[in-house]
Amino acid sequence: MTDMNELQFANRIRLILNQGTRLEPAMAERLRAARERALAAQRLPETELAPAWAGGAAAALGGLAGFSLRVLLPVLLVLLSAAALYGWQEVQRSAEVEQIDAELLTDDLPIDALLDRGFEAWLKKHAAR
């Protein structure tokens, strides 16, 4: 027995244990079902990307016609961000136009002088002095 390797030793233990496990079929079925439940509980659940309340919100809205909130929520956030950015840029552009208009209207020179190409050349020539 001292020459026995681990595999032979494990097989011998298995045989001895199997001889003592004569169970009724109902008991064996209950043990099998309990083992299946334990294995299912041990498996790691899939990670959820949406917040916990998202499922309830989607159900309250009628399931959103089959759209997953995992897809719909980020798309909605991107669209809202793009709209906010566009609105901010438009405000900046209108502020720049207003500033230019105010400078033109409060300047001593008439607007026609600023549009004349000869005047622009004259300004460049005299600015170099």
pLDDT, tens only, 32-91: 898 888 888 888 666 555 566 555 655 555 554 556 778 888 999 999 999 999 999 999
> Does some domain include residue 88?
yes
> DSSP label at 114?
H
> Does some domain include residue 105?
yes
Sort residue 50 into left (φ over 0), alpha (ψ -120 to 50) or beta. beta
What span, in angstroms and rounded, lies between the C-alpha atoms of 48 and 98?
Answer: 50
Mean pLDDT, residues 101-121 taken together: 79
Quick check: pTM over 0.85?
no
What span, in angstroms and rounded, lies between the C-alpha atoms of 78 and 84?
Answer: 10
Question: Which residue range forms the structural domain that includes residue 122?
Answer: 67-129
> Does some domain include residue 43?
no
What span, in angstroms and rounded, lies between the C-alpha atoms of 129 and 124?
Answer: 9
> Does some domain include residue 26?
no
Please tell me the total count of domains within the chain.
1
> Does some domain include residue 74?
yes
Backbone φ, ψ for residue 24 (5° rounding): -70, 150
pLDDT value of position 1: 47
> Does some domain include residue 110?
yes
> Does some domain include residue 94?
yes
Backbone φ, ψ for residue 62 (5° rounding): 80, 25
> Does some domain include residue 47?
no
